[in-house]
Amino acid sequence: MKTQAVVCREPGQPWEVTELDLDEPRANEVRIKMMAAGMCHSDDHIQKGDAPMRMPVVGGHEGAGIIDAVGEGVTRVKVGDHVVCSFIPACGSCRYCSTGHQNLCDSGKNAATGEFPDGTFRFHQDGVDFGGLCVLGTFSQYTVVSEYSVIPIPEDLPFDVACLVGCGVPTGWGSAVHAAGVQVGQTAVIFGAGGVGMNAVQGAALAGATRVVVVDPVQFKRDKALEFGATHVFATAQEATDFVIEATWGELADHAIITVGSLHDEVIHDAINIVGKSGQVTITAVGNGSIKEHPGMLIGYQRRIQGAIFGACNPLHDVPRLVGMYQAGKLKLDELITNRYTMADVNQGYQDMLDGKNIRGIITIEH
């Protein structure tokens, strides 16, 4: 079949809308009629060339829609089911899935190529194979993905809200709750209050942190962070550090969670310095930052630095849990959506994100 999709042909080139040929789903694959897609910063990193990805590629790894067709052997969903895509698949049987670490599923190995396990692709144009970002490609009217990459959702859940729980929400929330392990009464500092960071704020607040401190240079994001559970907000790391020193009587923070748009050396340095004895720095952001610290900074205070993917969440368990929290009024999702765009407006949407105007932009997929 034919599908309109948002693609990037080479690093540094803008996103463009084009018509692609889409193969039928093969064994254990499904076709999704996409209804909404989230505009995550990771897609911008791919387009800019900051993160390696095989090109050309169909953008998008946050998405929600309706199962339109299924291949042989599919058991997880059926035609007509409403689903959200998980950018980390969960096969359920590899070492990591079977030990409760679905965010490390072996089936996620082709995220940077967009090819299926057999080395083939489902998107094509004039003999050229297009990968789907994270083997998804949600910036398309239709996409074919593995059944491991879909999670059923309630039919009354709005698609624009649902797409967020496929990446930004669990990545941020889980960074605080699972990867960092924020506990009641602790002090957590979140660097960066965008689409992921705002959910780290929610996670830390829901985990019972006494102080949820946000560092972000954008006033709009600092104001929004207060609505999502932040107790204190600052424009600079130095202001936050001065506050934490005074508020904790010099003990410093228990946690620093890095969710900035682009990782860099300075924010890593600031995060290490703001946590105290046995404190942990959790790095969720991606970019080009390096850890350039004397080992004594870690040894003397027994500090830890922890990387996190998908917020250490288990998609098949945590995504339905987050949906339930939203339906119970315990988790803010509607408030994350700042602006909505058409596929033709994707470049403007990402510019708005870079300009600090969006917490999360949503693409409404037209059919």
Whether 309 shows a pLDDT value over 90: the answer reads yes
Residue range 136-189, pLDDT digits in tens: 999 999 999 999 999 999 999 999 999 999 999 999 999 999 999 999 999 999
Single out the catalytic residue among 8, 40, 105, 313: 40
Active site residue 45: yes
What pLDDT is recorded for position 44?
Answer: 92
CA–CA dist 362, 349 (Å, integer): 8
pLDDT in tens, 1-47: 999 999 999 999 999 999 999 999 999 999 999 999 999 998 999 99
Tens-place pLDDT, residues 213-225:
999 999 999 999 9
Residues 82-98 have a mean pLDDT of 96
- Catalytic member of 8, 41, 61, 105: 61
Average pLDDT over residues 70-74: 97
Interhelix angle 219-227/197-206, rounded to 10 degrees, is 30
Residue 134 annotated to the active site: no
Share of residues in the chain with pLDDT > 70 (%): 100
- Which residue from 20, 179, 199 is spatially nearest to 114, judged by alpha carbons? 20
Q: Any catalytic annotation for residue 40?
A: yes
If we measure between CA atoms, which residue out of 68, 67, 47 comes closest to residue 57?
Answer: 47
- CA distances to 103, 175, 256, 286, 310 from 307, rounded to whole Å, are 12, 9, 12, 10, 10
Cα 244 to chain centroid distance, Å, stands at: 28
Residue (of 257, 262, 260, 216) closest to 239 by Cα position: 216
pLDDT at 287 over 90: no
In the prediction, which pLDDT does 292 show?
Answer: 83
Rounded mean pLDDT of 282-310? 90
Is 42 a known active-site residue? yes
Beta bridge partners of 289: none
Cβ-contact 42, 196 below 8 angstroms: no
Indicate the average pLDDT of the chain.
96
**pLDDT value at 293 more than 90:** no
Q: What pLDDT score was predicted for residue 49? A: 87
Distances (CA, A) of 232 to 181, 186, 211, 280, 344: 20, 14, 7, 20, 38
Annotated catalytic residue: which of 91, 97, 134, 167?
A: 167
Average pLDDT over residues 52-78: 96
45, 82, 178, 232: which one is catalytic?
45
Mean of pLDDT values over 250-276? 95
